[in-house]
Amino acid sequence: MSTALKTKKTMWKKAPVGPCMVVRRLIDRRNAAALDPFCWLAVCYCSADFDRSDILAPSAVPGKDRLNYLVTGPSEEPELLDELTSQAGISRWINTIGGLKRHTPAKTVYILNAELWLRAAPGSKSTQNLQTESENIPLVAEYHGADVRVLCGQFEGKTGPFKPSCGKCLILDVTLSPGASFACPVPPENNTLVYVFGGRAHFGEGEELFFGKDSFLHMSGGTVTAYTLQTGARFWLLSAPPKTGKSLEF
């Protein structure tokens, strides 16, 4: 009497994919001392499955001012996407320039979510926890070929909504058109940072290197300068005086 073999079905099944394509931790305890008062910066590039509800509201952390910033931008047309980026669940912004197209977009998509912490001023009794989107930020449009969103501090008559207790701080979201230039004076004693999340740009004077997407720079000197060629660029500019009284080198 023969016995038929029974095939047991596998218990494995496809795991659900999270809403973030890439997560980068740019500032943490290892380099925070050199970048004071900035003590934490993490960014995630959003996949097509990302939803606004995926972001948790920032909770209060003793001694820290917190900013959660969601960057939006126009979607790319399907014919501009390669085979990889057109797959379901893959970020539409990998290998592209992060919302720099000038035509009227079909729709707006989520590009990047960033979480920034700053050390509060000594003796500060209150800190700020702000959660916002780029479309809600004061905009200086067409500033010498740049669109500048002012998150913190003042720029060309606009004041940002984020007001950390550390005092004078400047945080800008800068979109440079192809062939445009940008200059912003900052105090030379500040710790000044740039994070590029779209396109390519040249930073500094007398330098020959262009920095592309996911470049993280620690700037020196009193004026931040940038220019682009064919691609344009989008980057974060952060600048604040260190509480230690001097900026440290890596």
User: pLDDT tens digits, residue range 97-125?
Assistant: 455 544 444 578 889 999 999 998 887 77
Please check whether residue 227 is in contact with residue 145, taking contact to mean a CB–CB distance below 8 angstroms: no
Regions of the chain short of the pLDDT cut 70 = 1-10, 16-17, 57-58, 75-106, 206-207, 244-250
139 CB-near residues (< 8 Å, 6+ apart) = 147, 148, 149, 150, 158
The closest of 32, 24, 29 to 240, measured between CA atoms, is 32
User: Domain 20-240, what fold?
Assistant: Jelly Rolls (2.60.120)
For residues 48, 49, 53, 58, the Cα torsion angle rounded to the nearest 10 degrees is -70
pLDDT tens-digit profile of 141-185?
999 889 999 999 999 999 999 999 887 899 999 999 999 999 999
pLDDT of residue 226: 94
pLDDT of residue 9: 66
pLDDT of residue 5: 54
pLDDT of residue 97: 44
pLDDT of residue 171: 98
pLDDT of residue 126: 81
Q: What CA–CA distance (Å, rounded) separates 248 from 250?
A: 7
Amino acid at 18: G
Please check whether residue 102 is in contact with residue 175, taking contact to mean a CB–CB distance below 8 angstroms: no
pLDDT of residue 204: 85
Task: List C-alpha distances in Å: 141 to 149, 151, 157, 226, 234.
Answer: 8, 14, 12, 17, 14
pLDDT of residue 86: 44
For the entire predicted model, the pTM comes to 0.80
Q: What CA–CA distance (Å, rounded) separates 134 from 72?
A: 6
pLDDT of residue 58: 66
Cross-strand pairs, 236: 173, 195
pLDDT of residue 181: 92
Over 132-182, what HEC string results?
EEHHHCCEEEEECCEEEEEEECEECCEECCECCCCCCCEEEEEEECCCCEE
pLDDT of residue 249: 47
187 CB-near residues (< 8 Å, 6+ apart) = 168, 222, 239, 241
